[in-house]
Structure 1
Amino acid sequence: MGVFNSRFGRKLPLQALLVVPFLLQLAGTVGLISYLSYRNSQQAVNHLALELRNELTARIQQEVSTYVQSPFVINDLNAIALRSGDLDPSAQEGAYLFWQQARSLPANNLIYCGVEDGSFMGVGRTRDSKNLELLLTKTGPGGYFRYYSLDEEGNRSSQFRVLDQDYDPRIRPWYQQATQIRKPGWSDIYLDFDDRVPVLTASTPVYSNRNGRLLGVCATDFIPSRELNRFLSGLKVGKTGETFILARTGELIASSTADEESLLIGAGENAQLLPARDSQNPLVSATANYLKQQFDDLRQIDQVQQIEFRLPGGDRQFAQVSPFRDEYGLDWLIVVAVPESDFMAQINANNRLTQWLSLGALALATGIGILTSRWIARPILKLNQAAQAIAAGDLEQTVEVNPIAELETLTQSFNQMGHQLRESFNTLEQRVQERTAELAESNQQLELAKEKAEVANEAKSTFIANMSHELRSPLNAVLGFSQLALRSNHLSPDQRENIGIIYRSGEYLLTLINNILDISKIEAGKTTLNLKSFNLHQLLSDLEDMLYLRAESKNLLLTVTRSDDLPQYIQADEMKLRQVLINLLSNGIKFTQAGSVSLHVSTQPPSHTPLALPSQTLPAATVPIYFEVRDTGVGIAPEELPHLFEAFTQTQAGKESQEGTGLGLAISRKFIQLMGGDIAVSSEMGVGTAIAFYIQASLSETAPLDLHPARRRVLGLAPGQPTYRILVVDDKEVNRRLLVKLLSPLGFEVREASNGLEGVEIWDTWEPHLIWMDMRMPVMDGYEATQRIKATTKGQATAVIALTASVLEEEKVVILSAGCDDFLRKPFQEQSIFDAIAKHLGVVFLYEESEPGSRPQEPPADLYSPADLYSPELPDLPETWKTALHTAALEADSAQVKALITQIAATHAALAQELTQWSHQFRFDKILEWVEALPSSTALIPDAEQL
């Protein structure tokens, strides 16, 4: 200690030794945490920006593909009509076909054909895009360019405009390019002859089947700046991000910040597409300039590019450039640009707040440290003074001097107090008092910790309710509109497959969300058992039917067996047991590449898997039910088994599959324990895994009611019923539109309200038969609205059904106590909606006929060519039926085609199946080819005048 004293040359205060190291540690910790928080925030922002750009690019590519595919389908139909003579621009015949197509596909600006004698005929939209007009031209002597209005039946109503210019389609870019390349393709973007707007034309040359002579060119105009600008401007790209489409030469095709006129420079004949580098939007201009610097020629970009750059002001920007091409020659670049500030603004604000809080904490810690050091030093100093007064007579005792000033005085006092036992007792008493005060303070801290734990538990419940609403509400729209789209009979197989992918992805996302919410409910103590009687044998059969296709697709053998003494009807939580079995069987199928997956259910414990038996005596009429799932999969490593049931923990095989969240087994174990059971696992790498568990169930003597009858597709309301009025009350427009689009086509009269107050007002004047009521809304929520309605005599006659995204079981009790007649959770299945309406209104629906218990099958793809569908019995088809089918196919009227096919389904099943497949694929050209090739077909094809 003397060396220490001599090295520093002076005595150190005790307050400095207590306060300074503590402050240095606190400052270093705060600084490190702030740095790591900022760095992790930036990494999260980079990842989030990349995900956002990928998602937006995929949406834009899908939307653009939708727009650019339909023009060539239209051209193919018009080419058939031109070859057969049903369409003749020279004789002004066939305009009705154009009118039908323009009305059915409004995204296309103009549909037309030009022929070799210079005649031109087309139907397009007026300049205000509200009505359809007919364009007729003729070149040479007596030539003209006339516009005619078309009425709601497609007939000419009046001639309202005549151009003095001589229009020859054969010299237009779309005509010349089609005849040069001799195949369908896109023209370059050019200025429209009349409106002077940028136009992109899909053109198809038409040649005679007999001599190969060029008959003309059929084309469809598409104004990308009009349709794509509208779509791009509707996308939300962060707060200030932009999306735009570039030509390979650098001009703007479409932009989220511009209308069709602002994409042009110059006027009249001198008008040109606006180069992206000259855009008035600084983000679009800066992105284009950066691309020009990085890629001297934009044609070099042949794959997705992720770029980062800074604006002149210094702000960093994220951008993604993705090529877009199609089979007909389109070659564009889709660009998504997002400023970093859109994501970092809140993070920077939080960092600044953290810095101020850190400084405040440092200042507070300094004050507390000073006060604490004084509190420690003063008793010691007082003790020293008392010791000197009592032991003044013995000054010869010496103790090594301590370099700390306060302790030096204390040491001298203790040298004088060595033999003073009385003073030692006084010191001990003082220490006891101090310890008592410390214990009292510890008790106060324990009480405070208990209160904080109760607050945290309540916060978990609030979190579950809020996350349920915020996550499940948008999923309700995704799954609902997917179901609604799948009801359409006019989807092509690709479209049906795409929508099916969206629906299945939404269901998978819902499963993940439910798993996370289940874990949260379990941790918050909000999970309860829902005991009811059910058919255990039927549950096992349903699981086998549900999963056998998944196993069969991997060439696996799936078996479900049960012991002879297994009771058929038990009382337990059916939904939790079903979820546990689905989790375990799905895992077995997922991690098994060859062999089998089996489930055995018995009242006796399995002999192969170690499983602790229930230790307590079971109540009367209660039995343990044992389940064992075995597979021949990859197995689980021994070191992974202890962590198998931890939340968000996956085995090595699970990580390699890149599927799941690591919650399935954790939730399963919690559910099993809640049902009074336990679970055990045994596994061998490369051989397989066995998982066994048991639950405690009560025996049930009666069979439960079948609450899940066979589902059939609802087609509409049965005739002879009144018009039912239904009110949809929801603050989310997408949720209201989903129910309106689902119910209105069936014959219901539907109205909407955006909050509870508006819903009460509409109910009072309109008097609906049934109300779909959301419970969480601004202005007035669903609880208060329902109470106001049900408080009246008139309201008692109105059925009110709650729609909520809450997953808490106690929420259902609160909602029903508010006066609601029923309760449905979002996302919902459309059949649940129909069942609830039928239950409360007594509505009778018309259903699509199907075989009970049959599995749905996809129709075979292209079993036949048109030539394969000829057989001796075909001449017995009615001539009027053939004529009607030819007319409907020529007009691309899919609804009429389907109705005609239905008329022959009973007598010509194979033929009807193939015609239906062609109709779903929009292959009306095949249907036309088949009809025209029938015996005496020329006599049954109607003239253009009849069309």
Structure 2
Amino acid sequence: MLAERRLKTSPMDGARLAKALDAQAALLPYALGVFAVSLPLFVWVGSFAANRVWMTASFAVFAINWGAFYAAVNWLRDDASQDLNRRARVQVLCGVLWALSVVQISAFAQGAGPARDTLLMLATAGAVLCTFFAAPYLPALLIIAPLAAAGPLVARFSQPDGHQGGDLTWGATALALTLGMILNQMVRRQHDLAVSHEELVEERLRVLEEAERTARSKSDIVATLSHEIRNGLTGVTHVLAAAAGKGGRAAPSREQLNAALDAAQDLISVLNATLDSETAESGRLNVETQPFDPVRLVQDLVLLDKPHAATKGLELAVHIDPLLKGRDKGAAVADALRTRQIIANILGNAVKYTVRGRIEVRVELRDGAVAVEVADTGPGLSTEEMEQAFEPFRRVERTGAGVNGAGLGLSLSRQLARLMGGALEARSAVGVGSCFTLTLPFDAAVDCELEEEQLEAIVTETPGAPRTMRVLIAEDDALNAAMLRAILEQLGHQVVHAQNGRRAADLAKIAEFDLLMLDHRMPVLDGPGAASSLRGADGPNRQTPIIAVIEGDGEEASEFLDAGADIVLRKPVSVAAVARALADASALDRNVAKSEAA
């Protein structure tokens, strides 16, 4: 048990043991050869012995040992010998059998008459051979060598006139044991070098494979983004050129504007998915676990996709488990926004790829978890195509031709589900349809009634803020500032723009604002510096909520939050993302006001 426990905790020791056993096993054929050559000599000497019964017993012992050895050699070729502890016991037992045969020859020599001394010399030689062949594995050496040497030593010193021969036997066996220990140390040193070399080779192969995988991932990212960016920006450029009147083009129609808007939104979705996928791949994607109502979330998403499904003539139905209807307790425990992202992806795929028939969404309780199942009557996928669909930047050519996308939705959704303690599984049949099932943890004892503003921030595509706010934005890039101003004004808010963090900090010290939105990278004073300055100075905006606008790096978010920011908003911003951030900031502002009033 001790050896087994050591193998489990130390792979290095396990590798050494395997090397030692391999070295000893490699000597087994030579051991058989040596004993086979020695047998005629033993038979000739034994023929002079007076006790023929002992001679017969010796032959029987030799036959048993050879049979056991051949069985052991054959067993070492089987998969069962991969258990190192069992293999070590078998090899030690084989050595013990030959050591016992040496003991038997020593006992036989005691009644052999004139052949006694010669037989004891053969027994001593057998003990030396047992010591040599046991040397590669230290436990075998320490067990087999003393046992084999005991026979001739006891036989020598048991006779009154045997002290001279006993001294020779003692010297020979002691020398053999010493040389065996030296050989064992040399073999162990060689094994350590071999194991270290193998580990270095494995580490090098692992690093090389990781580098190749990273290179393939980066290549896929570049290829995907170049294609999607080129297509999206080309359409937007044509519409903007027509709007500007360049080239004698007529003003764009509403349909052209909608197409350009769709292309821009698709491009933003691709960029967001790519950033999320890379962040998740590097282990830096965080999820926030909180209780929420899965039924309300699913019903809202179905409502959003129904117009698109209706234009394609598809029936879109939702079925809620009766156990989930009318409950005032019980909620899914996961990241509500990430859950919405997953369900929107699999439901959007169902609507996108289904040409005719129906799409059915089911929300059920299964074994203490909530399951959201989306089944469609689309083209369906084979087993190989389904595996491909879950690989990043891989798209199924049979079904994905002519459809926009980066091939990241399903792989990212599965990663997000696992991060939240759930799973995303799929089954499909070609020509029949597909079914995707998202399972998430469910707590029956949690109150799932959320505040109205929080619920709107989770399930509404473009939630509105509860009141008009005066917002200070700090952004050095003119285009980004114009986009953010347009979104905020579209949502009904007043905007003041500062071109760097220092200007924003100065304005916040003299004028009162309801919200501060600070970009991360700015000249003069960056966003975290401005946030830290505002939190540390007295003024009307010391407790005002701060939204950090970052490029998507987790380190940037941590730096901003440590400096005093309350909410993180990642670029490129959208109306929905800004509206959710404003709703969160408004709820935070009210909570601060309540605590101050209390």
- Asked whether 1:530 is paired with 2:294, we answer no
Q: How does 1:410-809 map to 2 (within 5 A)?
A: 436-437=192-193, 439-440=195-196, 496-566=254-324, 568=327, 569-573=330-334, 574-604=336-366, 623-699=368-444, 700-706=446-452, 707-709=454-456, 726-740=471-485, 751-764=496-509, 770-794=515-539, 796-797=541-542, 799=544, 801-807=546-552
Report the counterpart of residue 163 of structure 1 in structure 2: none
Q: Measured at CA, do residues 516 and 822 of structure 1 come closer, stay the same or move farther in structure 2, by a change above 3 Å?
A: closer
Name the one with the larger strand percent: 1
Residue 773 of structure 1 aligns with an amino acid whose one-letter code is L
Shift of 1:602: 1.9
Deviations 1:89-141 (A, max 9, x none): xxxxxxxxxxxxxxxxxxxxxxxxxxxxxxxxxxxxxxxxxxxxxxxxxxxxx
SS of corresponding position for 2:380: coil
Deviations 1:141-171 (A, max 9, x none): xxxxxxxxxxxxxxxxxxxxxxxxxxxxxxx
SS of corresponding position for 1:508: helix
Q: How does 1:835-846 map to 2 (within 5 A)?
A: 835=583
Indicate conservation of the 8 Å contact 1:731/1:755, yes or no: yes
> Aligned equivalents of 1:744 and 1:547: distance in 2?
27
Residue 564 of structure 2 aligns with an amino acid whose one-letter code is G
Shift of 1:429: 8.4
Q: Measured at CA, do residues 493 and 626 of structure 1 come closer, stay the same or move farther in structure 2, by a change above 3 Å?
A: farther
Residue 652 of structure 1 aligns with an amino acid whose one-letter code is E
Q: Measured at CA, do residues 835 and 429 of structure 1 come closer, stay the same or move farther in structure 2, by a change above 3 Å?
A: closer
Shift of 1:800: 5.2
Q: How does 1:344-355 map to 2 (within 5 A)?
A: none
> Aligned equivalents of 1:665 and 1:585: distance in 2?
11
Indicate conservation of the 8 Å contact 1:591/1:653, yes or no: no
SS of corresponding position for 1:793: coil
SS of corresponding position for 1:519: helix
Residue 738 of structure 1 aligns with an amino acid whose one-letter code is M
> Aligned equivalents of 1:764 and 1:661: distance in 2?
45
Residue 323 of structure 2 aligns with an amino acid whose one-letter code is D
Indicate conservation of the 8 Å contact 1:625/1:696, yes or no: yes
Q: Measured at CA, do residues 676 and 557 of structure 1 come closer, stay the same or move farther in structure 2, by a change above 3 Å?
A: same
Name the one with the larger helix percent: 2
Indicate conservation of the 8 Å contact 2:293/2:448, yes or no: no
SS of corresponding position for 1:738: helix
> Aligned equivalents of 2:463 and 2:401: distance in 1?
40
Q: Measured at CA, do residues 504 and 749 of structure 1 come closer, stay the same or move farther in structure 2, by a change above 3 Å?
A: closer
Shift of 1:440: 4.7
Shift of 1:548: 0.9
State the TM-score, normalized to the length of structure 1: 0.34
> Aligned equivalents of 1:647 and 1:770: distance in 2?
38
SS of corresponding position for 2:523: coil
SS of corresponding position for 1:546: helix
Unpaired runs of 5+ in structure 2? 1-175, 241-249, 591-598
Indicate conservation of the 8 Å contact 1:775/1:802, yes or no: no
Deviations 1:768-807 (A, max 9, x none): 6653211222332111122122211126546252331344
Residue 262 of structure 2 aligns with an amino acid whose one-letter code is R
> Aligned equivalents of 2:277 and 2:295: distance in 1?
29
Residue 284 of structure 2 aligns with an amino acid whose one-letter code is K
Q: Measured at CA, do residues 785 and 701 of structure 1 come closer, stay the same or move farther in structure 2, by a change above 3 Å?
A: closer
Shift of 1:738: 3.5
> Aligned equivalents of 2:407 and 2:455: distance in 1?
31
> Aligned equivalents of 2:346 and 2:257: distance in 1?
28
> Aligned equivalents of 2:491 and 2:388: distance in 1?
53
> Aligned equivalents of 2:396 and 2:369: distance in 1?
30
> Aligned equivalents of 1:711 and 1:543: distance in 2?
9
> Aligned equivalents of 1:579 and 1:822: distance in 2?
19
Indicate conservation of the 8 Å contact 2:379/2:430, yes or no: yes
> Aligned equivalents of 2:359 and 2:419: distance in 1?
26
Shift of 1:658: 3.4
Q: Measured at CA, do residues 576 and 736 of structure 1 come closer, stay the same or move farther in structure 2, by a change above 3 Å?
A: closer
> Aligned equivalents of 1:780 and 1:428: distance in 2?
68
Number of residues paired by the alignment? 374
> Aligned equivalents of 2:547 and 2:354: distance in 1?
43
- Asked whether 1:818 is paired with 2:563, we answer yes
Deviations 1:514-571 (A, max 9, x none): 2222322222222344222222221221122111111111111111112211365413
Shift of 1:685: 2.4
> Aligned equivalents of 2:439 and 2:464: distance in 1?
41
SS of corresponding position for 1:589: helix
Shift of 1:597: 1.1
> Aligned equivalents of 1:735 and 1:748: distance in 2?
17
> Aligned equivalents of 1:833 and 1:638: distance in 2?
41
> Aligned equivalents of 1:840 and 1:580: distance in 2?
26
> Aligned equivalents of 2:406 and 2:267: distance in 1?
11
Shift of 1:657: 3.6
Shift of 1:680: 4.0
> Aligned equivalents of 2:529 and 2:357: distance in 1?
58
Residue 653 of structure 1 aligns with an amino acid whose one-letter code is R
> Aligned equivalents of 1:680 and 1:771: distance in 2?
42
> Aligned equivalents of 1:675 and 1:717: distance in 2?
33
Indicate conservation of the 8 Å contact 1:558/1:596, yes or no: yes
> Aligned equivalents of 1:679 and 1:836: distance in 2?
28
Q: Measured at CA, do residues 582 and 753 of structure 1 come closer, stay the same or move farther in structure 2, by a change above 3 Å?
A: closer
> Aligned equivalents of 1:642 and 1:806: distance in 2?
32
The two structures, once aligned, show a CA RMSD in angstroms of: 4.9
> Aligned equivalents of 2:488 and 2:443: distance in 1?
42
Indicate conservation of the 8 Å contact 1:600/1:629, yes or no: yes
State the TM-score, normalized to the length of structure 2: 0.51
> Aligned equivalents of 1:663 and 1:675: distance in 2?
18
Q: Measured at CA, do residues 715 and 639 of structure 1 come closer, stay the same or move farther in structure 2, by a change above 3 Å?
A: closer
Shift of 1:576: 2.7
SS of corresponding position for 2:271: helix
Shift of 1:841: 8.2
Deviations 1:212-238 (A, max 9, x none): xxxxxxxxxxxxxxxxxxxxxxxxxxx
Shift of 1:495: 5.1
Q: Measured at CA, do residues 763 and 755 of structure 1 come closer, stay the same or move farther in structure 2, by a change above 3 Å?
A: same
Moved more, 549-558 or 780-789: 780-789
